Amino acid sequence: MPACSGLEHHSQTVIDGSHPTTQAKFESYPSDAVQRQVCRRASEINRIPTYDARMAPPRTYRVRVLGCRVNHAERREVESVLRDRGLKEAVPGRPADLEIVHTCSVTGRAAAKSRQAARRAKQARNSTLLLTGCLVGSNRDQAELLTGNPSHAIGHDLPMPLAVASWFDAQWANGNQKPCEKTEESILPLPLAAMPNQPANHVRAEVRIQDGCDAHCTFCIIPTTRPVLRTKSISTVTEEVERLVDLGHREVVLAGIFLGAFGHETALRRRQQHRSAEPLADLVDAVASVQGLARLRLSSLEPGDVSDTLLSTLAAHPEVVVPHLHLPLQSGSDRVLRRMNRQYRVADYLDMVDRATHALSRNGIPPAFTTDIICGFPGETTNDFEQTVAIAERVGYLHMHVFPFSPRHGTAAARWKDQFVPDAIRTERVRHLIDLETRPDGLSERFRRRLAKHPLRLLAEQPDPHRSGNWLGRCDHYAMVSVKIRCERGDLVRAMATEIEDDVIIAEAETADCSLPMLARH
């Protein structure tokens, strides 16, 4: 979840020098005040004491990760930091010398799962437990109790890989590893603490391009756990993507806590300077031009992010940018959206969907839309919920992440106890939306039927455990496809969709090729 659903939220023509002023702006965007605040915190972290000098440096690590795409992207960054320091991933089933739990606290359930993972990791004897991420930011006392050592709980005061590098070097720097420097320049914009250095385990990699949110949706704890907005420079992102492609990844997902705040000091659009600049579109243009990258996705966008410039940039790279957008709705009622403090209304949302459909339709097939919806927000009436159902039917989502409202301590909505919707109604509304999507002839099947008899392109991800000789992979429209073919993991397969079995499209293979271009538009 958020990267921007509060649950799961989530661009350069610049590199070639065609927009040098935009590039210069990204490199210097953070305000002096924000830089001073972060640097003060960095110097505090520098003073973290070595907790036990008698302990030998760890040789193996394990990272357990919970939560959103940004957390998963951070996991890869943290692993690169550890591998740079000579550590190897622990063998599955064996304890690691260093156990890291990268936590999530966006819902009560996610926080409980994070605590459970920490307790399980702590059972490993002779291991050091490091707790990182949003649970630390939302409840530091509890996190310190879980680790048993205050310096072994790291929130988001610093970019995560930099914080872990600093922590590790403070504990065990041995002269071979240059301690991570925390100068103003290395903190902001969002730095790359270590280049990716691990061969691809998955064909798809998340690249974190932005961190932090200050939009303060009334249900979301993220502005507390990740309050500082940071942006990677376009050249850094491009370099990272080139390296990931060299390591064998075929698809990249650009992820951020608030993707549309990429290149801005704030996620609040009314306060953004340089509103006419289109940094995300510039980044997409640069990344889509990386040689060897087969597919590019964006993690999450909302109406204020989806400008005509961004849409035309997405449409200008039909061979790489997929026709799929994740557009968190949260509610189809303006009354609820206002109380959620969202920065759009239903009409803005539908206008975005219509513009994206017009710009990204291919061969008569509209783009796929996925979304996040919260059921039972405090004060949500039956009529509000019916409006949400009507919007879901109007948009025709391929998939909806549906969550019951979960009060998070420290947020405004958690204080509106007198308006809480009873548990049973929240659960029933969730069930209703899941049924709307997944039942026979439901929203998902209706969209996937539109793909039938059309040529699809999919990325072979794993052998199909239910169909002998078949491979499974997501097509460009994000639907799962099973195809009978002899191929390698990571191959691009062109196939013709023939039928739908449950949640999988069955297709007949035409070709498998590492360099197969995506379908031409129209």
Cβ at position 279, least distance to ligand SF4 in Å: 17
Handedness of CA 200, 211, 288, 400 (dihedral sign): positive
For ligand SF4, the closer of residues 130 and 215 by Cβ is 215
For ligand SF4, the closer of residues 257 and 505 by Cβ is 257
Cβ at position 205, least distance to ligand SF4 in Å: 22
For ligand SF4, the closer of residues 80 and 224 by Cβ is 224
Cβ at position 360, least distance to ligand SF4 in Å: 23
The two three-digit tokens of residue 158, written as one number: 């610093």
Please check whether residue 385 is in contact with residue 379, taking contact to mean a CB–CB distance below 8 angstroms. no
| Cα–Cα distance measured from residue 464 to residue 152, given in angstroms and rounded to the nearest whole number | 41
Cβ at position 371, least distance to ligand SF4 in Å: 13
For ligand SF4, the closer of residues 222 and 283 by Cβ is 222
The two three-digit tokens of residue 394, written as one number: 């109007």
| Cα–Cα distance measured from residue 73 to residue 253, given in angstroms and rounded to the nearest whole number | 9
Cβ at position 51, least distance to ligand SF4 in Å: 33
CB-based burial, 276-293: b 16+ in 10 Å, e otherwise: ebbbbbbbbbbbbbbeeb
For 172, residues 6+ apart whose C-beta sits below 8 A from its C-beta are 57, 58
Cβ at position 223, least distance to ligand SF4 in Å: 5
Three-state DSSP state, 115: helix
DSSP string, 383-403: HHHHHHHHHHHHHT-SEEEEE
| Residue in 327, 113, 122 with CA at minimum distance from that of residue 133 | 113
For ligand SF4, the closer of residues 42 and 413 by Cβ is 413
Give the nearest residue (CB) to ligand SF4.
Answer: 6
For ligand SF4, the closer of residues 203 and 213 by Cβ is 213
Cβ at position 278, least distance to ligand SF4 in Å: 19
For ligand SF4, the closer of residues 329 and 451 by Cβ is 329
Neighbours of 499 (CB within 10 A): 10
For ligand SF4, the closer of residues 2 and 159 by Cβ is 2
Cβ at position 6, least distance to ligand SF4 in Å: 3
Three-state DSSP state, 145: helix
For ligand SF4, the closer of residues 72 and 85 by Cβ is 72
Kindly calculate the radius of gyration of the chain based on its CA atoms and give it in whole angstroms: 23
| Residue in 105, 68, 116, 10 with CA at minimum distance from that of residue 406 | 105
Cβ at position 343, least distance to ligand SF4 in Å: 8
Q: Which residues contribute to the site for ligand SF4 (CB under 6 A)? A: 2, 4-6, 9, 213, 215-217, 220, 222-223, 257-258, 267
| Cα–Cα distance measured from residue 165 to residue 99, given in angstroms and rounded to the nearest whole number | 15
| Residue in 465, 468, 495, 466 with CA at minimum distance from that of residue 479 | 495
